[in-house]
A = this chain, B = another copy of it.
Amino acid sequence: MIESTRQAPDHVSLAVVFQVRGNSLQVLMWQRARDPFKGRWALPGGYLEPGETLERSIRRHLAAKVDIDELAHLEQLETRSEPGRNPGSWELATAYLGLVPSDVDPEVPADTAWHPARDLPPAAFDHGEIVETALQRLRAKLSYTNVGFALAPETFTLSELRAIYAAALGHDLSATNLQRVLLRRGVLERTGSKREPGRTGGRPAEVFRFRQPELEVTDPFAVLRPPTKVTR
């Protein structure tokens, strides 16, 4: 491979890693110890190295912050290129969206912490905007794909799933309707077992799971689909 003599921008990969923790959707960030943006919070990531793809790059950098195996979903989000986004150098950033199921609690380094997506601390670079974009993408996809699988445990009751969706979407919703919608679409299925009673005092809940542990678009939009027959 011939080395280029062209003046080229540095390139970093970043990730907005979401997890539903407690009752809120939170983002993994780390606090910068050096300028620029010393003391402010940044998304995990780092330089792209020769020979690796952006996805491998972000996985490598993420591995320094969390256990990669707990990432249930990872997809490319957007590439930022404003010339002034890094005051010190010409640097592009490709952001990814990552999701961690709610039933794990990854160990993180001392400089790293989870912050509510809706109440971020002062962010470095354009990372605040990137989180915003990621949030919009996640919320849209929750509605027309099965991404929920990447935020939920393997199995769960509908109340638990409802809590996860509510945290991620930012608004409450009905468990009854959530069940009907996801079951009809074939996104959820019953495991057959019930949550062992004895805990709360109430009817034991059925345990569900997502059918597919990989992203799939539920219905490529009900609208304007190929008609069975067309006259006009």
A192 interfacial contact with B, CB 8 Å = no
Contacts of A91 in B (CB 8 A): 4
**Interface window among A5-13, A19-27, A65-73, A103-111:** A5-13
Residues in B whose Cβ lies below 8 Å from that of A57: 81
With A1-B90, A174-B227 as contacts: A52 and B140 at CB distance below 8 Å: no
Q: Which residues of B contact A198 (CB under 8 A)?
A: none
- A74-93 to B contact mask, C-beta < 8 Å, 1/0: 00101101110000111110
Per the bound structure, the CA–CA distance linking A94 and B177 in Å amounts to: 40
Which residue of B2, B9, B52 contacts A83 across the interface (Cβ within 8 Å)?
A: B52
Chain B residues, Cβ within 8 Å of A79: 54, 76, 79, 94
Q: Chain copies in the assembly?
A: 2
Task: Answer yes or no: A167 CB below 8 A from chain B CBs.
Answer: no
Residues of chain B contacted by A54 (CB below 8 angstroms): 79, 81, 92
Cβ of A183 < 8 Å from any Cβ of B?
no
Q: How many residues of A contact B (CB 8 A)?
A: 58
Contact B11 A142 (CB under 8 A): no
Residues of the B chain whose Cβ atoms lie less than 8 Å from the Cβ of A178: 224
Q: Is A220 an interface residue (CB 8 A)?
A: yes
Measured CB to CB, the nearest residue on chain B to A84 is B1
Looking at the assembled complex, report how far the CB atom of A7 sits from the nearest CB atom of chain B, in whole angstroms.
6
Query: Chain B's nearest CB lies how many Å from the CB of A155?
Result: 20
Q: Contacts A82-B53, A89-B1: A230 and B143 contacting too (C-beta < 8 A)?
A: no
At the interface with chain B, which of A43-51, A112-120, A208-216? A43-51
Nearest 3 pairs of A and B residues by beta carbon? A143-B221, A171-B226, A54-B81
Name 24 interchain pairs, CB-CB below 8 A, sorted by A.
Answer: A2-B88, A2-B89, A3-B7, A4-B91, A6-B47, A7-B50, A8-B11, A9-B11, A50-B83, A50-B90, A53-B81, A53-B82, A53-B83, A54-B79, A57-B81, A79-B94, A92-B92, A143-B220, A143-B221, A169-B226, A173-B224, A174-B230, A177-B224, A181-B223
